[in-house]
Amino acid sequence: MAVLVSNAPQRSDEWRQLRAGRLTASVVSAIYGRRKDGKETAERRDLRTRLALERVLGKPLDDGYMNADMQRGIDLEAQARACYEIQTGNPVAEVGFVYWDDLMVGCSPDGFVGEGGLVQIKCPRPANHLAFLRTRDIPDDYRLQVIHEMWVTGRHWGDYVSYCADMPERLMLAVQGVTGADVSAHELNVRQFLREVDEEEAQIRALQERA
């Protein structure tokens, strides 16, 4: 297994093509989706089908949808990264799309820190940022995103960074660390889900052959 890095700009056509058919950090929380009766959620099913179809078709099927919150995160990411560097004293090296050559996984961390760390930056609205300041509880989908990035990249720790430029200066940035304690369990879940994607891909190709 080799870990590869592409410096294709995020959201570029090359970046989207590299992600096609791969389980990435931004959607990884969906693989944990289970209803009360134990059956998978529609979100999990739809992700499995989309990844299988992307492999068969050889192209991404996501529509590149961008809402106001997502655009705010893009616009403020560099500012948040600089604020993190000043507050923590940790220089951040920007990185492109990281992926494996022998397993369909990948991620786009918001930066590498030193030899063993990474950062994932979010720029929430003031009320959500304040809630995080008070509790330091990382939302489950964001925690899983950081864990997935740690696993894919081989990094040992990650900092979840919440940044809100609308807050008073001393409250703009909040950082909570994530350790590697859950990485092994996450790998088992990822590999199981990807086996399901492989099976669905095989079924689609079989349909092609019979058509």
For the beta carbon of residue 146, count every other beta carbon within 10 angstroms.
26
Neighbouring residues of 22: CB distance < 8 A, sequence distance ≥ 6: 51, 99, 104, 105, 106
pTM for this predicted structure: 0.94
Q: What is the CATH number of the domain that holds 151?
A: 3.90.320.10
Is the pLDDT confidence value at 104 over 90?
A: yes
Q: DSSP letter at 41?
A: P
* N residues, the chain: 211
Instruction: Write out the residue range of the structural domain in which residue 197 sits.
Output: 3-210
Distance, CA of 148 to CA of 182 (rounded, Å) = 10
Per-residue confidence (pLDDT) for residue 158, from 0 to 100 = 97
Average pLDDT of the chain, as a whole number: 94
Question: Could you give the number of structural domains in the chain?
Answer: 1
Spatial contact of 123 and 73, defined as CB atoms under 8 Å apart? yes
Backbone angles phi, psi at 175, to 5 degrees: -125, 135
Per-residue confidence (pLDDT) for residue 65, from 0 to 100 = 66
Q: Within its chain, how far is the Cα of 60 from the centroid?
A: 16
